[in-house]
Amino acid sequence: MTRVTIPDTVLFTQMGEEAVLVNQDSGVYVGLDRVGTVMWQTLARCPDLDRASAELVSHFDVEPNRCAADLHQFVRELVQHRLLLEDV
């Protein structure tokens, strides 16, 4: 079961339905659309990817396998930018 951790150096700022993540150490920032913002907020509440995916399926009209794949891709991109840490 994979879990994620949000580093203390990452800031989240929401503007309407969109948001921005900033890593204060590296200066890297990423803009999130409405779906990305909901995914981030879900991971912040529920760092277990399986549980987060199940919560997202109930929020969006999406098949469970597609949701899990999209969530894992989202996490991989944020880990690559050091905006999330993946705990295995």
Tell me if 87 is assigned to some domain.
no
| 3-class DSSP assignment, residue 1 | coil
- Is 0.85 topped by the overall pTM? yes
Q: Residue 45 belongs to what H/E stretch?
A: helix 34-45
Asked, for residue 26, whether it belongs to a domain, the answer is yes
- In DSSP terms, 11 is beta-bridged to 22
Query: Residue 65 has what pLDDT?
Result: 96
What would the two tokens of residue 87 be? 């705990």
Residue 14 belongs to domain spanning: 3-82
What would the pLDDT profile of 27-60 be if each residue is shown by its tens digit?
999 999 999 999 999 999 999 999 999 999 999 9
Asked whether residue 57 is assigned to any structural domain, the reply reads yes
Q: Is residue 9 part of a domain?
A: yes
How many domains does the chain divide into?
A: 1
- Cα–Cα distance list, 35 to 9, 25, 61, 85, 87 (Å): 23, 26, 12, 20, 23
Residue with tokens 């921005």: 20
In a domain, 88, yes or no: no
DSSP state, residue 60? S
